[in-house]
Amino acid sequence: MSNLSPTAKIILAFLRFRPRSGYDIKQSVEISTQFFWGASFGQIYPELRRLEQAGLLEVESEGRRGRKVYRLTTAGERELDDWLRGDSGLFQYRDEGLLRLFFSDLIDPETALENVRRMREWREQAVAFFRSQLEPHAQEDADLGARFPLRALEFGTAWLEAQAAWLAELEAELEP
């Protein structure tokens, strides 16, 4: 397969930890990677079927209401390892607020200032959410030996704090 979709990468990686249903994968995304690598139910379920058809995962069990629990196959393990060890796609960042900032010369100064203020406030709220909601889960994982989710969270928190500080400076500069 070797050309994994963004959703396939997250599915295979979460299944490496343990077998999960599509719902379980979505819940894992919500408490861990959602701020830098999200996946919706509308992405997860079709991708699970595609990965199963490609032989990268298989159904381990099926509940009475049809909830399937998937596990990686040997081919899925290899595919995940190839991606984790690869050197492509190490950085991709999309930020619509930053795109608006780039083009802020095309709008009135008051709207530009309001956009900057919203960008700063969102980052501050995200940091508070990271600390109160995500950090406890990441710390539990670290206590069990999985230290990199916590390290990724620390990276994200530091990055957002630096962005918020920069935006606060710009906000002060733009205020009349």
Does 1 map to a domain?
Answer: no
Q: How many CB atoms lie within 10 A of CB 62?
A: 11
Q: What is the domain range of residue 124?
A: 96-174
The H or E element containing residue 126 is helix 109-129
Q: What is the pTM of this model?
A: 0.77
Q: How confident is the model at residue 87 (pLDDT cuts 50, 70, 90)?
A: confident
DSSP letter (8 states) at residue 33: T
Q: What is the pLDDT of residue 2?
A: 64
CATH number at residue 32: 1.10.10.10
Q: Tell whether 110 and 157 lie within a shared domain.
A: yes
State how far the Cα of 32 lies from the Cα of 75, in Å rounded to an integer.
Answer: 26
Q: What is the pLDDT of residue 1?
A: 53
State how far the Cα of 173 lies from the Cα of 167, in Å rounded to an integer.
Answer: 10
Q: Tell whether 11 and 76 lie within a shared domain.
A: yes
Q: Which of 85, 105, 131 is the last residue of a domain?
A: 85
Residue length of the chain: 176
| Cβ neighbours for 113, distance < 8 A, ≥ 6 positions apart | 171, 174, 175
Q: Which tens digit of pLDDT belongs to each residue from 132-160? A: 998 998 899 899 998 999 999 999 999 99
